[in-house]
Structure 1
Amino acid sequence: MIEPWRTLLIVGLSIAAVVVLVLRVRLPAFLALLIVALATGLAFGAEPARVLEAVRKGSGEALGFVAVVIGLGAMLGGLLEASGGVATIANRLLDRFGERRAPWALTAIGIIVGIPLFFDVAFIILVPLLATLSQRAGRRVIYFALPVLAGLMTMHALLPPHPGPVAVAELLGADYGLLAAYGLVCGIPAAILAGPVFAKLAHGAPGFGAFAAPPAFDEDAPRLSPLGFGWALVGMLVPLLLILTAAVAGVLLPDGTPRDVIGFIGHPFVALVLACLLVTVVLVRGGTAMAVASDVMTRALAPAGLMVLVVGAGAAYKEVLIQSGAGQQVSDVVASAQLPVLLFAFLIAGFVRLVQGSATVAMVTAAGLCGPIVAAAALSPGRIALVTIAIGAGASIASHVNDTGFWLVKQYLGLTEAQTFRSWTIASTIAGVTIFAVAAGLWRFV
């Protein structure tokens, strides 16, 4: 195994290479990520065959789920957009809350939806609404998107049933009830600061450029028969409610046919298929020709293809970093320092997150190193829950080019790479630091 300083050097150079290739050389992000992934694997001394296998594994595992969700989400969004459904919802939301209060309502939506749903699934379903709100209000998309993203991100990092918090809770022996309670106490202030508060500051700051419609919107797509507010809302909420029902059933119902059936219907694939079918049936009954509705869905898949490729390349780069063992080496260096357990947990997760991109891997790595310390310190259940939260906080910071979420946000919101750094990367860091600060404040009281 190579020396830790060389590991950090290779990782740092690889991240810089992605930034330079995309921002300066202007290579497509898909090509730049693949080039850097291959070069990084070879720089770590891996055999060429293993590097190629890591690229295949990373992109294949990500696309096996994300590609289907992106495709179905694009089709549903295309139907709702071409029928005026998302415009109707956006108008009603703005009329009810106003432009100034809408980001606060969206933060609440992100928190509520983010408890049961995976980050990428919920974001893909909600992004047509965010883009339409932006166009309707004449504001940059980040003004409405960051509040939702902040809510989704904090819940994904802190609360079960998301895989990272569950894995950490199992490794540290955290109480799920305390984890949920403290997770909300720490996560809500973080979502507020990283969401509506930062969105207001970022929206007025220079460097974000004029808003351009996200690539999922096809101005030349045919218009469908109008979809009323009720059916538009149903079409958007059906997949969310089905997935939520499946999550609840998985916890409350015993093993057996009812649980399996609900779990099947509530899988994101099936839930999105049913939502597409429901909206299509309503539109056809309202006078839209089936061929026209099919054309809208087909057109919606074209920009989705680019999104899929970029996310897949980002996942390949991340997998190369994971298999290199860079995260573990960084963890070992940090572990040699004498630090308070809460700060140690936060820094370990943060360093691993920066190095290899995956929040879940960062959380599991940090939990593995913190486990013996937590056991030896004989911490109270409340403090164990706070250590779990500190790990989630560290794993949330600085989403950048080695994180598939970075590219998902960039592509779906129609941002440049620089704009994504200024908005999403900073917002994720604000959220992580705020979560840790609140957890540290609670430490002496539990």
Structure 2
Amino acid sequence: MESLIEVAQEKATLDIRLLLSVLGGISVLLVLILRFKIQAFIALLLASITVGILAGIPPMAIITTMKKGMGDTLGFVALVIGLGAIFGSILEYSGGAEALARFMLKKFGEKRASWALMITGFLVAIPVFFDVAFIILVPIIYSLQRRTKKSLLLYAIPLLAGLAITHSFIPPTPGPIAVADILGADLGWVILFGFIVGVPTAIVCGPIFAKYIAEKIHVDAPEATTENIKNEDYPAIGLILSIIGIPILLIVCNTIINSPLVSEEFISLEIKQWIGLIGNPIVALIIANLIAWYVLGIRRKVTKQKLLDITSASMAPTGIIILLTGAGGVFKQMLVTTETGKMLAAYFAEMGIPIIIFGFFIAVLVRILQGSATVAMITAAGITAPLVMAQVDITAIDKALLVIAIASGASIMSHVNDSGFWLVSKYLGINEKQTFQSWTVMTTILALVSFTIVIILSFIK
């Protein structure tokens, strides 16, 4: 009897130590980022080391765990993020993003321009980074405001909603790719649920909220300094939509065909394997890049040297994202090695807290405290991944919904510690109070609506 009590006491002591190690790691992460302004990549690595030390891992085992976490994570993510950046740079240079915006506005008309801008943002952010896409398209919303004299927010908020949702929910953007890889989620399912959750969310926090806030805050566009160029030689809109859709279609087809939904009676195993190769995100993006390189580059008389220059330049901003993702993988691996994940899984199971809610609130906490949505997503994924690994009955759909839930939490309440807050404030010409009332509220609505849809889907799947 006494031995059983001693074992229970030892287990309780170990659990407390492991819990304190996680809390200590998170505290170190936040203090380094918030107080000392240390780069998040270094902060994540130091937080991982802190967890290892506090959990009692031998010194050299800590190093081994860090190398394993970094290597296992970047083997896939670095390739996909790099290919996605190159793809987006060619599309941006060709004028494809602006062509899509102008086409949507022409089809929808000025009265429904907010809907056109929401859809444009939703599509453009698939291959192009959020901030780059916004800067490319912002002259269009300036032009609309000058023509209609309505508040600039009527057009800006739907565009920002579309951009933000796709940036957070739909691969091949870096955030969902990183989270999906850390959690072991299938990108095809993530894309499907990204669209299912993203579309109604975009409608609510885009055109609907924009109409409300535009009546409360009137914002004029900056005065035009130059005349807009007329009759630009933009690529055909069908071509742009096809090129954007190619990698998404290949990835989703691969997921569906290689799922239990399609038996070998309909498609042979050998064909499934070839589809698995072509529909792998890496190969799908290579195919999309080659098509974009030729169709939007060579065929449009862009020199090979110019294509090399713009694609090489696109690699620079991806470096920090790749390193951050790797550091998130290190943090996850440290929790796996210390078996903190198993302990937390058992703890939350006893409390009856679903992993999907836990992942969301961790992402919310980190997002509000330190600002970066990418850091929030990666940190939450790293903490949540060991809990996922400890559950034997978790499905591919469960993992995909968890990715979207974490992305929802990481999108919430953008404020002064987020670079996106200042980007929006600067380009829309609004003060901090107005940015809080429009952009911050929009991101909060985005997070809450999308998470609500995820919860509903988790019950009816």
TM-score under structure 2 normalisation? 0.62
Q: Is the 8 A contact 1:70 1:124 kept in 2?
A: no
Quickly say closer, same or farther: Cα 1:336–1:241, change in 2 above 3 A. Answer: closer
Q: How many residues align?
A: 363
Question: d(CA) in 1 for partners of 2:249 and 2:360?
Answer: 33
Q: Which residue of 1 aligns with 2:4?
A: none
Question: d(CA) in 2 for partners of 1:391 and 1:295?
Answer: 38
Q: Which residue of 2 aligns with 1:119?
A: none
Question: d(CA) in 2 for partners of 1:249 and 1:241?
Answer: 12
Deviations 1:407-444 (A, max 9, x none): xx9xxx96489x9999879855653455436767x79x
Q: Which residue of 2 aligns with 1:88?
A: 99
Question: d(CA) in 2 for partners of 1:280 and 1:288?
Answer: 9
**2:72 matches 1:72:** no
Equivalent in 236, 251, 254 of residue 246 of structure 1 = 254
Equivalent in 273, 283, 297 of residue 260 of structure 1 = 273
Most deviating of 133-142 and 268-277: 133-142
**2:325 matches 1:311:** yes
Quickly say closer, same or farther: Cα 1:73–1:131, change in 2 above 3 A. Answer: farther
Q: Which residue of 2 aligns with 1:331?
A: 345
Identity rate, percent: 23
Most deviating of 143-152 and 302-311: 143-152
Amino acid in the other structure paired with 1:242: L
Question: d(CA) in 1 for partners of 2:195 and 2:308?
Answer: 41
1:53-132 aligned within 5 A = 53-97=64-108, 98-102=112-116, 105=119, 123=126, 132=136
Question: d(CA) in 2 for partners of 1:22 and 1:414?
Answer: 14
SS in 2 for 1:27: coil
Q: Which residue of 2 aligns with 1:431?
A: 450
Q: CA deviation at 1:6?
A: 3.3
Q: Which residue of 2 aligns with 1:376?
A: none
Q: Which residue of 2 aligns with 1:116?
A: none
Equivalent in 265, 285, 290 of residue 277 of structure 1 = 290
Most deviating of 93-102 and 228-237: 93-102
Question: d(CA) in 2 for partners of 1:233 and 1:187?
Answer: 16
Deviations 1:57-105 (A, max 9, x none): 2221221111111111111111111111122123323444545324764
Quickly say closer, same or farther: Cα 1:142–1:312, change in 2 above 3 A. Answer: farther
Q: CA deviation at 1:290?
A: 1.1
Which structure: larger Rg? 2
Segments of structure 2 that go 5 or more residues without pairing to the other structure are 1-10, 143-155, 177-181, 215-231, 366-378, 425-438
**2:248 matches 1:235:** no
Q: CA deviation at 1:256?
A: 4.1
- Larger relative contact order (CA 8 Å, sep ≥ 6): 1
Q: CA deviation at 1:36?
A: 1.3
Q: CA deviation at 1:266?
A: 2.0
Deviations 1:111-169 (A, max 9, x none): xxxxxxxxxxx95568565664456436377422333357649xx9xxxxx98789xxx
Deviations 1:308-351 (A, max 9, x none): 112111221122123222222123233445x5xxx667667778
Calculate the aligned-residue CA RMSD, in Å: 4.9
SS in 2 for 1:3: helix
**2:309 matches 1:295:** yes
Q: Which residue of 2 aligns with 1:357?
A: 381
Question: d(CA) in 1 for partners of 2:279 and 2:399?
Answer: 29
Equivalent in 39, 44, 60 of residue 28 of structure 1 = 39
**2:144 matches 1:137:** no
Q: CA deviation at 1:297?
A: 0.9
